[in-house]
Amino acid sequence: MTDSELWYTEYYTEHVRFSYRVSKLLLRKQTKFQLLEILETPEFGRLMLLDGKVMLTQRDEHVYHEMLIHPAMLAHPLPKRILVVGGGDGGSIREIVKYPFVECALLVDIDGEVIEASKEFFPELTSGFADPRVELKVGDAAEFVKDTDERFDICFIDCTDPVGPGPVGPAQALITDEFLDNVKAILADDGIMVVQSESPVYEIDYLKTYTSRLKERYPHVATYVIMVPSYAGLWSLTWASKTIDPSIEITRKPPKGLKYFTPELFGAALQMGKLDLWGARPHQL
């Protein structure tokens, strides 16, 4: 292979960028909702972008998916009915179906083309789609949570970025007051919601406002911070529940073969979520 001079640059802010050398452009397609691109890179393997933002890379997707899914799956008394909002790449469902007690895992993604491209280019993420307990719906999750009569034990919000530089796309509908109220309404009394809540460094103002809006709705809200090189290094996930505190001792055993998650690491991630080091920009110091 000849040395490629093709580079992809993601903007974290207008002042900070991160670049990847690209060995091959595998797919570039404007769907009805967003620009979908899949790149082959020497350092991170295959990488999926939506509207120019990294959704996942083969090298580190396990960190995000394990840490999004397993803490709530292990802490809830018996999660049988699970909703994934977004998540069309399949990584979240792959982790959820590792639990034999799950009866139904419903994924609602607005963009069927993300699901199809993931099946083709990331088969290691979409293996869970074949599980008979899994149902895939293509549609706006904001509409789904408004209209459904179903109730869920856990709702994972695995969506594109609703804020940040560049186009924000359909995830904007997933941060309205109406959406947050509707998610609360479809959660069982001991339900848990876990949401990807953006960079704790570059979107700290968003994160603070978002968590305070969750605190208006739930007594137990906590942010935890994970290490994902392709998400600007650190990323935040936020837990909200009517009854379950994330710092309870986890006694259920995690599935075998996880590469990042351990209960101890989750405890540390919660501690990192309490730090307020990332907030101050130079002009505020």
Shortest Cβ 28–ligand SAM spacing (Å): 16
Site string for ligand SAM, 21-60 (x = CB under 6 A): -----------------------------x----xx----
Detail the DSSP E strand segments found in 110-196.
134-138, 152-158, 187-196
Nearer to ligand SAM, 184 or 252 (CB): 184
Q: Say how many residues touch ligand SAM, by CB under 6 A.
A: 25
Residue 173 near ligand SAM by CB under 6 A: yes
What residue type is 112 in one-letter code? Answer: G
Can you tell me the distance from the alpha carbon of 184 to that of 26, in angstroms, rounded to the nearest whole number?
39
Closest C-alpha to 94, from 107, 109, 75, 79? 107
Residue 183 near ligand SAM by CB under 6 A: no
Nearer to ligand SAM, 168 or 188 (CB): 168
Binding test (CB under 6 A) with ligand SAM, winner from 94, 158, 237, 266: 158
Residue nearest ligand SAM, Cβ-based? 86
247 is written with which tokens? 């710092």
Strand partners, 221: 240
Stretch that binds ligand SAM, among 104-112, 145-153, 245-253, 274-282 (CB under 6 A): 104-112
Strand partners, 210: none
Can you tell me the distance from the alpha carbon of 70 to that of 258, in angstroms, rounded to the nearest whole number?
10
Determine phi and psi for 213, rounding to 5 degrees: -70, -35
Cα separations in angstroms, 148 against 50, 96, 140, 141? 28, 21, 12, 10
Residue 194 near ligand SAM by CB under 6 A: no
Nearer to ligand SAM, 168 or 270 (CB): 168
Can you tell me the distance from the alpha carbon of 92 to that of 99, in angstroms, rounded to the nearest whole number?
12
Residue 63 near ligand SAM by CB under 6 A: no
Nearer to ligand SAM, 93 or 171 (CB): 171
Gap between the terminal Cα atoms of the chain: 48
| Residues with catalytic function | 158
Which residues 6+ apart lie within 8 Å of 48 measured at CB?
Answer: 36, 37, 38, 54, 55, 56, 57, 89, 114, 117, 118, 121, 122
Residue 141 near ligand SAM by CB under 6 A: yes
Nearer to ligand SAM, 83 or 250 (CB): 83
Site string for ligand SAM, 216-255 (x = CB under 6 A): ----------------------------------------
Binding to ligand SAM in span 68-97, by CB under 6 A: 85-89
Given the rule CB under 6 A, which residues bind ligand SAM?
50, 55-56, 64, 85-89, 108-111, 114, 140-142, 158-160, 170-171, 173-174, 196
